[in-house]
Chain A
Amino acid sequence: MEAAILTACADPSTLSGLSWLVCYLTTGKHMAFYGSFGTVLLLLAVTAPVALGFGFAAAMAARSRIWPLSWFGRGYIAIVRGVPDIAFFLFFVIALDQFFEWLRHEVKCPDWDQPVWQGNDFVVCSAAKLPLNNSAQWVHEAYGFSLAVITFAIVFGAFAANVLYGAMRAVPRAQLETAEAYGMTQRQTFWRILVPQMWVYALPGLSNLWMVLIKATPLLFLLGVEDIVYWARELGGSKTAKFTDYPHGDWRMWYFLALLVFYLAFTWVSEKVLNRLMARLTHGQATVGGEAQRKTVGKAA
């Protein structure tokens, strides 16, 4: 199949109509464009669990009886929620990069005597550069991508923390009191009673968060990753015959329309799946939703 396309597309200037389009949509750059959809999915697959972990830790910190920990948890949640997320994205990418380089600088070049901040420059010894100047292209890309993942996880971790913190407080107090009456320790009550029961309260908030996370993925573009927005701008821009075998006008509008449709389909499918998951989790729960489910099933039977 691929070989057939390759031979058919050997001389694009002779093509027209549908075959031109087929050849145009299978060029190497377009393959990279399709691959970048994978980047988006990979980002989601990695970020969602990491952010959930961050959120869980922060919610636990906010509940803690040790006040510095509790202040830290609450402060983290409040600040991230009060400031535009895009500002955090732009901030953390530079800040994390400098932080990692500074750490490596301290370890690798202990006898460096100049300050790291020199006027408007941030200077570390060349052994501490991240990634190293002589490393391969993919290392640069992987480093940029992992910075993006950490940034997303920090920002969405705060949102998740907010949801989980609320869910932990929504678990009926009587449940915890019963556990204590049975002689469970604080830790046992938390892990055996509170955590298993909180998910049904957290799920509506978390599914909302998942939708927000999907819709935040195009911001990868601002973090310097070659994602779908990058490629849509790149490929859609008008091309003249001088630079490419497939000259065309300004098609960026259509490329972004395609991205719009992609995201609509993605959120639509997510919504269906999450509704199903919610129905399953609600099953048998002593909540309004669970009761309604029980009644409709009873009627049907």
Chain B
Amino acid sequence: MSCWDTVQMYALRSLGYGERLLPRDDFTICQQVTLIGSGMMWNVYFGVLALAAGFFLATALALGKASPQLWLRKPAQWFIFVFRGSPLFIQFFFAYFAFLSLKQLSPLFDPFSSAWMGALVVLFLNTAAYSGEIFHGALMSVPKGDMEAADAYGFTGWARFRKITWPTMLRLAWPAYTNEAIFLFHATTLVFFSGFPARQQKGDALYYANYFADKTFNPFIPYPILAGYFILVTLVIIGVFGLVNRRLNRHLPVARKMRMRLRAPLMR
């Protein structure tokens, strides 16, 4: 069987199309690359959607945490504390079992007990909390002079936020936010190891890598393949976020442009 046949059989396996039976013996490198790559679709799905939705909640949380109003500030602070202070792994478990209990109350919660919805919600809330903290830090370090200039030009309310505060906040937060995006993608590998079932063996990249390592007792092939895929994703994130960074900094003189420092602020 040629490698192309394998690709046709297994390229969409993680979504449930193509050959149902996973390979059981005579594992080839081609099978491993194809299936693990197929699983990557789930990682990208979780990562992209959680990040896109989390961005807006994170902005709201940052504003809430910086608000002088107590009834806005306290909930935002608690939300960020709860999601940043506990392990994502435990959050997944708790959410899964909580959704299972809710399912018995109302069929409305049916989709939440499967990974595509339930895990997405957890990842969305989690990344919103981490990004909210990053945005809050950036909001606090918006230069005072910028705000005074905005006042002098007569900017108020929404216009002031939209035109001055928000772009500056994003510009300052962007290097740390890039890091958060990378670690969110890494975190998506936890989904199928934390309660959420992989129905009909439709799992993510790590699920298949683990499958092959268990079956062949040889971790030296599937995990490096997985690592290769993730390094690729990381490079894509750095590229895309680098473009946004250029746009956010386009008004600054060249020397003052914030260089993307990916090493400095470590991780979650």
Contacts and interface: CB of A to CB of B under 8 A. Distances in A.
A95 B82 CA distance: 35
B182 to A, nearest CB: 8
A90 B93 contact: no
Contact of A256 (B82, B97, B226): B97
A284 to B, nearest CB: 25
B94 A253 contact: yes
A208 B215 CA distance: 37
Given A120-B217, A260-B91, A253 B100 contact: yes
Nearest to B99: A253
A130 interface: no
A48 B190 CA distance: 23
Q: Choose among B27, B94, B100 the residue with the greatest number of A CB atoms under 10 Å from its CB.
A: B94
Given A120-B216, A218-B87, A232-B93, 17 more contacts: A84-B186, A87-B227, A90-B209, A90-B210, A90-B219, A91-B223, A120-B217, A159-B266, A208-B266, A218-B90, A236-B97, A253-B100, A257-B94, A259-B90, A264-B81, A264-B82, A268-B81
B218 A215 contact: no
B227 A122 contact: no
Interface string B69-99: 0000000000001100111111101100110
B193 interface: yes
Interface in B213-236: 213, 215-220, 223, 226-227, 230-231, 234
B170 interface: no
Given A95-B219, A166-B264, A253 B90 contact: no
B94 A120 contact: no
A120 B25 contact: yes
Nearest to A259: B90
A90 B94 contact: no
Nearest to A215: B87
A11 to B, nearest CB: 30
Q: Choose among A85, A209, A229, A253 the residue with the greatest number of B CB atoms under 10 Å from its CB.
A: A253
A87 B206 contact: yes
Nearest to B219: A94
Given A82-B231, A252-B97, A212 B268 contact: yes
Contact of A215 (B86, B216, B217, B264): B86
B263 interface: yes
B255 interface: no
B67 interface: no
Contacts of A267: 85-86
Nearest to B25: A120
Nearest to A123: B217
Contacts of A209: 266
A166 B98 CA distance: 42
A84 B204 CA distance: 13
B189 interface: yes
Contact of B217 (A94, A205, A221, A257): A94
A229 B92 CA distance: 12
Contacts of B267: 159, 208, 212
Nearest to B88: A215
Interface string B165-182: 000000000000000000
A20 to B, nearest CB: 21
A138 interface: no
Contact of B90 (A84, A236, A263): A263
A288 B86 CA distance: 31
A120 B90 contact: no
A55 B264 CA distance: 16
A94 to B, nearest CB: 4
Q: Choose among A90, A120, A214, A217 the residue with the greatest number of B CB atoms under 10 Å from its CB.
A: A90
B8 interface: no
Interface string A96-125: 001000000000000000000100111000
A90 B234 CA distance: 20
A86 B189 contact: yes
B200 interface: no
A253 B95 CA distance: 8
A233 B81 CA distance: 25
B189 to A, nearest CB: 5
Contacts of A194: none
B266 A163 contact: yes
Interface string A254-270: 00110110011001100
27 contacts: A82-B230, A83-B230, A84-B187, A84-B230, A85-B186, A86-B193, A87-B227, A98-B217, A120-B215, A120-B217, A120-B218, A122-B217, A208-B267, A215-B86, A215-B268, A217-B87, A218-B87, A218-B89, A222-B193, A229-B89, A256-B90, A256-B93, A256-B94, A259-B93, A260-B86, A260-B90, A263-B90
Interface string B18-52: 00000001010000000000000000000000000
A274 interface: no
B217 A86 contact: no
A289 to B, nearest CB: 16
A247 B45 CA distance: 40
A253 B219 contact: no
Contacts of B81: 264, 268
